[in-house]
């Protein structure tokens, strides 16, 4: 007895999986700050918009940009991203941008007040975690409200990560 493709239950599941893999990912990450999760305890994350000029967006579309030394803070009562490096767009001539200028973060007033209060009171800092294009093609940045780790905390996190890796390896070898 032969089954037609319409009667085969696994065929429809396979087709769904193929359709899902053909879809583009929801967010296209441009720059990531991997060291932030190593150096800080991330208490809370939020998404913010960035006020950019045209050549900065074009540079980011070419996957150029770095958040490694960047941080966010207050300037003139507003939130700004400092020390983020977006290199000059090579095809632009005299209308280019400055690579490490402060860039305004677009957040709601209530969110901004909450973040500025946490930074002032608790000794926390705002660290950019990643920069990406959302589904509409708009540049967004993921910020983390963070507290600094001490060296012993970093060692403890590394031990925990190594143990999780070893545990997964042991379970995989048994099964």
Residue at 36 is within a domain: yes
Residue at 3 is within a domain: no
| CATH number, domain with residue 155 | 2.40.280.10
pLDDT number for residue 7: 54
pLDDT number for residue 22: 44
Q: Give the range of the structural domain holding residue 107, as residue numbers without chain letter.
A: 24-174
Residue at 6 is within a domain: no
Residue at 15 is within a domain: no
Give how many domains the chain has, as a whole number: 1
pLDDT number for residue 6: 52
pLDDT number for residue 26: 63
Cβ–Cβ < 8 Å for 102, 113 = no
99: left (phi over 0), alpha (psi -120 to 50) or beta: alpha
pLDDT number for residue 15: 53
* Mean pLDDT for back-to-back runs of 10 residues, the chain (175 residues): 48 46 60 82 87 82 84 87 84 74 89 87 85 87 84 82 90 85
């Amino acid at each position: 007895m032969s089954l037609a493709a319409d009667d085969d239950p696994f065929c429809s599941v396979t087709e769904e999986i193929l359709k899902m893999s053909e879809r583009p990912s929801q967010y296209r990450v441009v720059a990531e700050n991997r060291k932030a999760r190593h150096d800080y305890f991330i208490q809370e994350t939020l998404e913010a918009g960035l006020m950019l000029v045209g050549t900065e967006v074009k540079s980011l579309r070419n996957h150029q940009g770095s958040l490694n030394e960047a941080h966010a803070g207050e300037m003139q009562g507003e939130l700004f991203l400092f020390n983020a490096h977006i290199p000059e767009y090579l095809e632009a001539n005299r209308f280019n941008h400055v690579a490490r200028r402060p860039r305004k973060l677009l957040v709601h007033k209530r969110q901004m007040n909450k973040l500025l209060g946490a930074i002032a009171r608790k000794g926390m800092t705002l660290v950019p975690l990643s920069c990406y294009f959302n589904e509409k093609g708009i540049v967004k940045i993921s910020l983390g409200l963070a507290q600094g780790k001490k060296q012993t905390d970093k060692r403890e996190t590394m031990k925990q990560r190594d143990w999780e890796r070893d545990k997964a390896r042991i379970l995989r070898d048994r099964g």
